Amino acid sequence: MQRSDTERPRPPWYFPEYAPVGVDLGSGAAVAAYDRNQGTDPGADDALLDRLGVAEGTRLVDLACGTGSLVVQAARRGADAHGVDVSEEMLAFARARAERYGVAPHWHHAGFLDHVHRGPLADVVTTASALHQLPDFWKQRALLNAAAMLRPGGTFYLWDVIFSFEPSAADGHLRRWIDTAGRPEGEGFTRADFETHVRDEFSTYAWIIEGMLHRAGFDIVSRSFPRPTHAAYHCRRR
Ligand SMILES: C[S@@+](CC[C@H](N)C(=O)[O-])C[C@H]1O[C@@H](n2cnc3c(N)ncnc32)[C@H](O)[C@@H]1O
């Protein structure tokens, strides 16, 4: 596994991105449960890779890759695929998945903030269900770092819990999300997981994210809000 430049000295005010935030994913068992609960679907990963134009030779970096399905599917179609995550447990699970499929993407034990992309600039950078792990000031830095990895004209894809409802209507939307998304223990993410997300993690509004994307150097090509609590952005590096 390649390590990024994580040994760089940081000022005392720097965000501790290796410290877990929110739902505990700090063990092999928790990671396996996470992979089951989120319903990893290589078919859905392939559909996304098709939409993003990822093909043989595409250089793709997935930030906060988790259990690595997107990276593995990209490697299976011949992309130069890189998975980046702060969790050694996630990366171990991802590496085992890659071995099962007989591919060898590059794994980096590194974070949104400190990953240094080496070699030619990436064609595509993705991140799913993870930017909310950073408070807004640090999200902006993460987006600047993502932009620095990409060639001009390259694609940035973001999927996350992002709020498109009116701030004055937040309570009702959050209540409906938590009431409907939670599953019984052992059958998926629970009500408590979603409560933890809202309370302890850093999901924010679409209009804030869009300002950050713009300031990081991205043009938004398309956006979708499949639910008032979730958003996808397909962006182009200026
Ligand atoms: C909810 S999982 C999402 C994983 C994967 N992207 C997916 O869609 O399944 C969040 C991931 O973000 C990782 N993570 C949290 N903070 C991070 C950071 N600052 N830099 C990189 N990865 C981070 C966690 O280790 C975890 O693997």
Closest CA to 18 of 118, 155, 115, 92: 115
pLDDT at 212: 99
Q: Specify which residues 236 forms β-bridges with.
A: 155, 219
Q: What percentage of residues in the chain have a pLDDT greater than 70?
A: 96
* CA 58 to the chain's CA centroid: 19
Q: How far is the CA of 134 from the centre of ligand 1 (A)?
A: 10
Give residue 147's pLDDT band: very low, low, confident or very high (50, 70, 90): very high
Tell me the backbone φ, ψ of residue 140, rounded to 5 degrees: -60, -40
Q: What is the pTM of this model?
A: 0.95
Q: What percentage of residues in the chain have a pLDDT greater than 90?
A: 86
For the chain, give the mean pLDDT.
Answer: 94
Asked if residue 137 has pLDDT above 80, the reply is: yes
Query: Within 6 Å (CB) of ligand 1, which residues are found?
Result: 17, 25, 38, 63-66, 85-87, 90, 111-112, 128-130, 133
Tens-place pLDDT, residues 61-108: 999 999 999 999 999 999 999 999 999 999 999 999 999 999 999 999
Q: How far is the CA of 21 from the centre of ligand 1 (A)?
A: 10
pLDDT at 5: 47
Given the CA of residue 23, which atom of ligand 1 is nearest to it? 1
Q: How many residues does the chain have?
A: 238
Tens-place pLDDT, residues 41-53: 999 999 999 999 9
Given the CA of residue 17, which atom of ligand 1 is nearest to it? 19
Give residue 195's pLDDT band: very low, low, confident or very high (50, 70, 90): very high
